[in-house]
Amino acid sequence: MRVPAESLVLALAVGIPWALAAALSLLDGRKRWVGWVAVAGLGATLAALARLAVLVVGGGRVEMTAGGWPEGVGITLRADALGATFALVSVGVIFASLLYEVLGGVRSRTFPALVVFMTAGLTGLFLTGDVFNFYVFFEVSMTAAYVLASYREQDHQVRAAFIFAVINLLGSVVFLIGVAALYHVTGSLDMVTIAERIDPVQPNSVIAIAAAIFVAFSLKLGLFPFHFWLPAVYVGSHPPVAAILSGALANIGSYGLLRFGGGLLPRELEFGSAVVVVLGTASIIYGALQAISRRDTSEVLAYSAIGQAGYVLVALGVGGTVGYAAAVLYAVVNSLNKGLLFLAAGLRGPLVGPAFAVGAFSVAGVPPTAGFLGKVALFESGLASGTVPTSVALVVLIFLGSALSFVYSFQIYQSRFWAPKPDDQGDRGKPSPVAPRVVVVLLAALALAVGLWPEPLLALSETAADILVGGP
């Protein structure tokens, strides 16, 4: 299984953004060529990740121990279907957002470097096999996000970035405490070893660790009781930044919950599944109702993000192969939707309307968009969940959530593209440049293509779920 060529692809996927980010931070990002170098580097990373995804679906896990240390001593990079899927979709959304910003004109010298730093953190985080490295990569990408949230340096953005940073640092500290506690009870930082050694540990000490880790990732994902920071940050942010935060960074939460909940602490996840499902339900209802009551596009999208995160949580709570596969699939589809919608919301002019409509259809789960796949997977997981009353309740909930998301998607679509209010005219000046609009249309085409040809994504998510069920 360990062929050098495979390890090379893995090393490239993690290494390219690091080297590139270090070089870019010395350059002035406002120059066009610097932006294009960043785009080219991210394109290369994306290609390496796509190759990696094909490798892990075909031949299982790809591993590499850094620095030629013996296994168990050196730091391990480990790519499996779960990590590769999340890395691919996150870097894809970041790539589209960077392309959009470079085509529209970068306004800050640090923007490309920060975006590439975040990519470096995210690829590392999804492809590492070591819990503490997970924390380090996680901090790298979060720190880039704190700075990105204050992009453009408007006062309210700086304040939103400050709140974002403080809340998420608190989450990171809670996660770090969880990591240290995992090390204390198992004596290892390697994910595979932890999963093996966690079983004989006393359940009551592991429950506390699981709760700490759950809280930390829920904060990142913006689930219902931990969502309060999210709308302020997304509303204040520049469209590509909001797309990156919602489409790529939020994936840390979904991935972390799947990896730590499903992979490392499955017993505790099962024990707390009722709590997880209830919190997910609360998120779905709360997010959808708040989204319906708002008028501002980015505010609606922010609350919609809370609701959509709830679906991932419900699927996680159901568990098993079906539930995990639905969670992976829904997280992927959701980040594609959010990237598309946030980018499209920042533009005006021909072709933006249809692209936005595709995204809105996808959030509502109308065929043949990608969102339909996610909803079908959720229905399956709802039916698979144990007893008849819970199945019925879950199916009703998912249906209700979809209906509500249909309402708010078309409310904003209508108010934005069909019936501009008279006092809104100032915002709807001349249409945006063609190039960013083409990016948005391509993303919309991708969302349609995934819906029409779902086999690759289904294969990826099912392989990922099998890995979680069969141990990491």
CB of 146 to another protein, least distance (A): 6
| 22: contact with another protein by CB under 8 A | no
| 66: contact with another protein by CB under 8 A | no
Inter-residue contact 247 to 338 (CB < 8 Å): yes
| 156: contact with another protein by CB under 8 A | yes
- In the complex with another protein, the residue whose CB is nearer, 67 or 389, is 67
**Closest by alpha carbon to 115, among 3, 261, 248?**
248
Q: And the tokens for 458?
A: 């289904």
CB of 189 to another protein, least distance (A): 7
CA distance 437 to 286: 32
One residue of 170, 434, 445, 449 binding another protein per CB under 8 A: 170
Query: How many residues touch another protein (CB under 8 A)?
Result: 44
- In the complex with another protein, the residue whose CB is nearer, 148 or 325, is 148
Inter-residue contact 52 to 13 (CB < 8 Å): yes
CA distance 273 to 211: 12
| 176: contact with another protein by CB under 8 A | yes
| 189: contact with another protein by CB under 8 A | yes
Contacts of 353 (CB under 8 A, 6+ apart): 413, 417
Which conformational region is residue 153 in: left (phi greater than 0), alpha (psi within -120 to 50 degrees), or beta? left
| 150: contact with another protein by CB under 8 A | yes
CB of 372 to another protein, least distance (A): 21
- In the complex with another protein, the residue whose CB is nearer, 167 or 376, is 167
Contacts of 154 (CB under 8 A, 6+ apart): 236
Site for another protein in 402-441 (CB under 8 A): 417-418, 420, 423, 425-426, 428-431
| 271: contact with another protein by CB under 8 A | no
**What's the farthest any 2 CA atoms get from each other in the chain?**
69
Question: What b/e sequence results for 200-211 when a residue is b if at least 16 CB atoms lie within 10 Å of its CB, and e otherwise?
Answer: ebeeeebeebbe
CB count in 10 Å sphere of residue 228: 12
Site for another protein in 324-383 (CB under 8 A): 348-354, 357
| 320: contact with another protein by CB under 8 A | no
- HSE-CB of 81 using CA atoms within 13 angstroms: 25
One residue of 8, 23, 44, 181 binding another protein per CB under 8 A: 181
CB of 205 to another protein, least distance (A): 12
**Amino acid in the structure at residue 185:** V
Q: Which stretch binds another protein (CB under 8 A): 42-50, 148-156, 361-369, 402-410?
A: 148-156
Interface with another protein (CB under 8 A): 132, 136, 139, 143, 146-147, 150, 153, 155-156, 158-159, 161-162, 165-166, 169-170, 173, 176-177, 180-181, 183-184, 189, 348-354, 357, 417-418, 420, 423, 425-426, 428-431
